[in-house]
Chain A
Amino acid sequence: MRFVLLAGLAALGVAAPAAGQLGAATQAPPPEGVAAGQGAANPKGHYAALDALPDWGGVWFVIFQGRVPGAVPEAQPKLKGEYLARYEKWRAATAANNGVAARNRSNCSPPGLPRIMRLAQYPYEFIFAPGRVTIHQEAWMQTRTIWTDGRKHEEDPDPSFMGDSVGRWEGSTLVADTVGVSDALEIDTGIPHSAQFHLVERIHLDPADPNVLVDEMRMEDPLALAEPFEVTVKYRRDRYGKLLEFQCSENDRNPVDEHGDTGFN
C-alpha cells in the first residue's frame, strides 16, 4: 500500500522531502546576547538560585473588575490614523448588528497578547526555570515564554500570537518586553494595532496582599496609538488550584459563519 502511494507520488512528479529534512534534529545557534554554554538552554547548576525569586506558586485568576452598572469605566486605548478609522468602522458595524461584533476567525483561535493575559474565566500559572519564566494559560492551553537569560529580541521575529518576550528581574518584579505580536490580532475587541506594537509588563505581587499578583501593562505603537496605553490587571491566587484541559475543537459549540456571526449549538 505504502509502496503504491510512493510510486504514485513519484509518477506525479512529487518529490519526497530529503531524508535529512524529516525528523532530523536542528542545531540552532545560541540566541544573540547569550554565550554558548549559558542561558536557559543550560539550566543545570542554576536551579538553587531560583529560590531567591518571589513566591508565585499556585494558579491565578483574573480579578474581574466588571463592566457592570456603576463600575469605573475601563481605560480605552487612544487610536490614531487609519487604526482609528478602522475602529470607528468596526464600531458602527457592530452597533448596526445589535452590538454583536463580527469575528474573522474561529472562537477556537486564541486572542494572543495582550488580551490572553486578561481573560476572566481561565487561570494562569507561572513556572520559574533558570533563564526563563513560562506562563501556562488554561485558555486554549497556551504557553508563553519570557526569556530572562539576557538574550536580546530576535532581529526579525516571526509575527505570532505571543510575540517575542525578553525579561529581567528587578528585585521581585518581572519586567517583560514583548515585540513581534501579529498585527492580525487586537489590543481589545475591535481595537487594532500594527506590527510595531510593543508591550512592556511589570509583574509583581501586590505589596498590600501577597495573594494578589499585579501585571502593569504599558503598550506603545507608533502607528496605531496616539499615546501609550496603560492598563493594570490583577489576579488572585488559588494556592492549590490547577489548570484544566482546554481542547476547544472537541467542544466547539460556537462556530463562526461567513458573516462573522458566532453561532450557538
Chain B
Amino acid sequence: MIKRLFLLAPLVAAAPALAHHSYAMFDMNKTVVLNAQVTKFKWQNPHAFIEADAAVPGGASEHWAVEMTSPNNLAQEGWRRTSLRPGDKVKIYVHPLRTGARGGSYVGVEWPGGTHLGQTRS
C-alpha cells in the first residue's frame, strides 16, 4: 500500500546560507516522506527539481514539486542528470512548504531495495 508518512523528528535541518533564495518558505524542522512516482526530473541551475505524483490514503494522488540544491552540489552527493526518470517509483524525503501547498525542499531519495542519496531513513 502506498502511503505518506509524517516524521515529527527533524533530520539535520541546516538551511544553506545565502542561497539563490531564502529557505524560510520551507518548514525545515519537519520532514515528509512521499511514496511517489516521478513525472519529471529537471537537472538545471539554480535548483534541480523533482516533480512527482505522491499517492495518499484513499487512492488519490497529489502532484508535488521538490526543490533540490544546485546540480554541482548534488553531483558531489552522487546525483547525475540521469539519476531519475519519469515513471521511477521512489521515496522522497522533503521539508514541506509552510503554506501547505504540495511542494518542499529535498532531503533525500530512496530507491526500492534501499539505495539512497541524501538523508533518508525508513
Chains A and B are bound partners:
yes
* Chain A residues whose C-beta falls within 8 Å of the C-beta of B69 in the assembled complex: 121
Contact call B67/A115, Cβ cutoff below 8 A:
no
Verify if B122 is at the interface (C-beta below 8 Å from A): no
A253 touches B45 (CB 8 A): no
CB distance from B87 to the nearest CB of A (A): 22
| Pick from B25, B42, B45: contact of A262, CB under 8 Å | B25
Against B, the Cβ 8 Å flags (1 = close, 0 = not) of A108-147 are 1001000100111111000000000000001100000000
Interface contact tally, CB-CB below 8 A: 95
Asked if A244 meets B22 with Cβ closer than 8 Å, knowing A64-B16, A98-B98, A253-B67, the reply is no
Which residues of the other chain, A, contact B21 by a CB distance below 8 angstroms? 103, 107, 254, 262
- A121-B73, A244-B71, A253-B65 are known contacts. Are A100 and B22 too (CB-CB below 8 A)? yes
Q: Which residues of A contact B98 (CB under 8 A)?
A: 98
Q: Which residue of A lies closest to B45 (CB)?
A: A246
Interface string of B1-35 (1 = CB under 8 A from A): 00000000000101111111110110000000000
A251 in the interface, Cβ–Cβ < 8 Å? yes
- On chain B, the number of residues with a Cβ less than 8 Å from chain A's Cβ atoms is 30
Q: Are A251 and B25 in contact (CB under 8 A)?
A: no
Tell me the chain A residues, 45-90 only, with Cβ under 8 Å from chain B.
61, 64-68
In the complex formed, the residue of B with least CB distance to A97 is: B24
By DSSP majority rule, is chain A's interface helix, strand, loop, or mixed?
loop
Residues A244 and B45 in contact, CB atoms below 8 Å apart = yes
Contact A251 B42 (CB under 8 A): yes
Cβ A264 vs Cβ B103 within 8 A: yes
Instruction: Check if A99 is an interface residue, CB within 8 A of chain B.
Output: yes
Measured CA separation A66–B18 after assembly (Å): 10
Chain B residues near A103: list those with CB within 8 A: 21
- Determine which of A101, A108, A122, A254 lies in contact with B72 in the assembled complex, contact meaning CB atoms within 8 Å: A122
Q: Hey, what's the 0/1 contact readout for B31-46 against A, CB within 8 Å counting as 1?
A: 0000000000010111
Contacting pair B18 A111 (CB below 8 A):
yes
Encoded as 1 (CB less than 8 Å from any A CB) or 0, chain B from 101 to 114 comes to 10100000000000
Q: A66 to B17, Cβ gap below 8 A?
A: yes
Can you give 11 contacting A-B residue pairs, CB < 8 Å?
A66-B14, A67-B15, A120-B19, A121-B16, A121-B72, A121-B73, A122-B46, A122-B72, A189-B18, A247-B44, A262-B25
Interface residues of B (CB under 8 A from A): 12, 14-22, 24-25, 42, 44-47, 49, 65, 67, 69-73, 76, 97-98, 101, 103
Give 18 new A-B contacts, CB below 8 A, not counting A189-B18, A243-B72, A264-B101. A67-B14, A67-B15, A68-B14, A98-B98, A103-B21, A108-B46, A115-B18, A118-B17, A120-B17, A139-B20, A139-B46, A244-B70, A250-B44, A253-B67, A262-B21, A262-B22, A264-B65, A264-B103
